[in-house]
Amino acid sequence: MISKKKAGRKRTRNQTKKDFVQEELQKKEIPSVQKTSETEDIQFQVINPANLEVIGSLPIFNQEQVEEKIRYARETFPSWSSLSLNQRSRELLKLRSYLAKNSEEMISTICLETGKSRMDALTEVLTVCESIDYVAKQGKKHLKPQKRNTGLILAHKKAYINYHPYGVVGVISPWNYPLILSLTPIVNALMAGNTVVLKPSEITPFTALKVLEFFQKAGLPEGILQIVTGKGSTGAALVESMGTHMICFTGSTATGKKIAETCAKMLKPVILELGGKDPLLVFEDANLKRAAKAAIWGGFFNSGQTCISVERVYVQDSVYDSFIHLLMEEYKNVRQGQENNFPEVGSMTSPGQVKILEEHYEDAQKKGAKILVGGIRQENQKGYYHKPAILVDVNHTMKIMKEETFGPEISIMRFSTEEEGIALANDSCYGLNSSIWTGNANRGKQIAKKIQSGSVCINDCLSNYPVSDLPFGGFKESGMGKVHGPEGIRSFSQIQSVIMNRWFWKLDKELWWYPYSEKFYKFMDRMMKLLFG
């Protein structure tokens, strides 16, 4: 940043800080992309993590600029919210079709700023197409007024609920799935009649801008989606603004706690989709080959940067050695590289995450863990390529078994009894997803009831997320509230209860209105005893 002192001149009264800095920079003729240190509070650079080249730079929206976008979203709210559910559904289906037809353009943008493999990027687009389809079609059912029972005492009345939009919803998204985690909440919020201001991750903002472009090209009403780019300060401005009526945040537990605090002070509703440290439990009666393939895929998919990645693997003693052998065999099928070669694993996305991964490896090795394979940077690649790793001899004193690692690795630990396996799986502050492997489906269902996580996959992993009808959201420090399913669709509405008289009820007054009398008191008391005594 250029301080007033450094620039040698003071900002005039009418000049915004941004204008002032820009003017000073122009005078100094500093090229826009290289001048990061001096412009870091007005713009930020986006890097391609697969080759470390600069993709571009974008503005950091300040509070004033965020408020302006919120104002636009508020202006659009009356017209958008007054559309019928059928009309809103049709608009969203236009977006779904446009996205499916132009998927390559979106996939290329995602790959460019995440370094994902092309297949991983395709699954993002596919999942989101399914999700838009679900919300647009099922939203018509789940958001229409619902009849409610008036009970025994007020049987002569009828009641129903309306789903009211909140107004402007602030969506804040992370970098690991820049399309799904931006567009899914957006579509849910819009279907409920809200308008949206999105703050995408500073690491992957171009996917969000492509989403906005697709909104325009698909012909959706202008202004229903606004985007503010920037870092944490921009996200905080969106949360702190009196102009946003609800927040949907997906990101780390640490940031989620800060947002929850601000929202609590403002009594602003918030959905928090946070971190995970998901266990995969292999019992001795499991199909070991399938379980090993799942552990490799579930741990390395999207370079392990999935909130529901398999991070902790617990294997029953009697099958431990065979399972490790199968894992090592399966590992031979994992190729890592540039997206255009269609590898299984691409690069990692964030340099900060690479650092955390390496710290976890170092801590684990110091405490006695062994890395059987991988766990090193790919020195022949320019980007953030970290060779997927399998670790053994780990325990719960290690960061790699306690904290979210969010990288391409799986750590394997033994257990002897079912109770011990379940206790180890539950020994975490997180509770997002988990995966149970057993040859007995009933046993799987019983174990699922004892697992403290928002979702459970039996003889599978990660497959719950793309099922749009299944609510998704964590227990414990993995979050609050649900996305997906009817519960997710309704999360973006406030419930209004309405009660009214049945059309034939034309009495001048209700029995219990004034005046009161002893006779009426006794009648009511008798009725209570008759109905409920």
Pick the binder of ligand NAD from 21, 25, 211, 259 (CB under 6 A): 259
* Helices and strands in the chain: count of H runs, count of E runs: 19, 20
Kindly report whether the peptide bond that precedes residue 515 is cis, defined as omega within 30 degrees of 0.
yes
Q: Is 307 a catalytic residue?
A: yes
Residue 227 is a binding residue for ligand NAD (CB under 6 A)? no
Catalytic pick among 111, 248, 263, 307: 307
Stretches 39-47, 133-141, 171-179, 281-289: which one binds ligand NAD (CB under 6 A)? 171-179
Residues contacting ligand NAD: total by CB under 6 A:
31
| CA–CA gap between residue 169 and residue 186 (Å, rounded) | 8
Cβ proximity to ligand NAD: between 85 and 263 the closer is 263
Residue 326 is a binding residue for ligand NAD (CB under 6 A)? no
Burial class, 185, CB count within 10 angstroms (exposed 0-12 / middle 13-18 / buried 19+) = buried
Residue 273 is a binding residue for ligand NAD (CB under 6 A)? yes
Pick the binder of ligand NAD from 139, 167, 174, 471 (CB under 6 A): 174
Q: Is 273 a catalytic residue?
A: yes
List binders of ligand NAD among 182-221 (CB under 6 A). 199, 201-202
One-letter amino acid of 182: S
Residue 128 is a binding residue for ligand NAD (CB under 6 A)? no
**Backbone dihedral region for residue 245 (phi beyond 0: left; psi -120 to 50: alpha; all else: beta):** alpha
* Residue with the two structure tokens 């979050």: 479
Residue 235 is a binding residue for ligand NAD (CB under 6 A)? yes
Stretches 61-69, 74-82, 84-92, 274-282: which one binds ligand NAD (CB under 6 A)? 274-282
* Residue with the two structure tokens 């979106």: 106
Stretches 246-254, 294-302, 328-336, 408-416: which one binds ligand NAD (CB under 6 A)? 246-254
Structure-block tokens of residue 439: 């040859």
Pick the binder of ligand NAD from 71, 158, 258, 387 (CB under 6 A): 258
Pick the binder of ligand NAD from 479, 489, 491, 493 (CB under 6 A): 479
Instruction: Count other C-beta atoms under 10 Å from residue 509's C-beta.
Output: 8
Length of the chain: 533
Q: DSSP string spanning 372-386?
A: EE--SB-TTSSS--B
Structure-block tokens of residue 265: 């002070």
The DSSP call for residue 221 is: P
Q: Is residue 84 classed as helix, strand or coil in its secondary structure?
A: coil
- Mark 405-424 with x for binding to ligand NAD (rule: CB under 6 A) and - for no binding: -x------------------
Catalytic pick among 113, 124, 273, 403: 273
Residue 404 is a binding residue for ligand NAD (CB under 6 A)? yes
Contact 348, 306 (CB under 8 A): no
The footprint of ligand NAD (CB under 6 A) covers 172-177, 181, 199, 201-202, 231-232, 235-236, 239, 250-252, 255, 258-259, 273-276, 307, 404, 406, 432, 474, 479
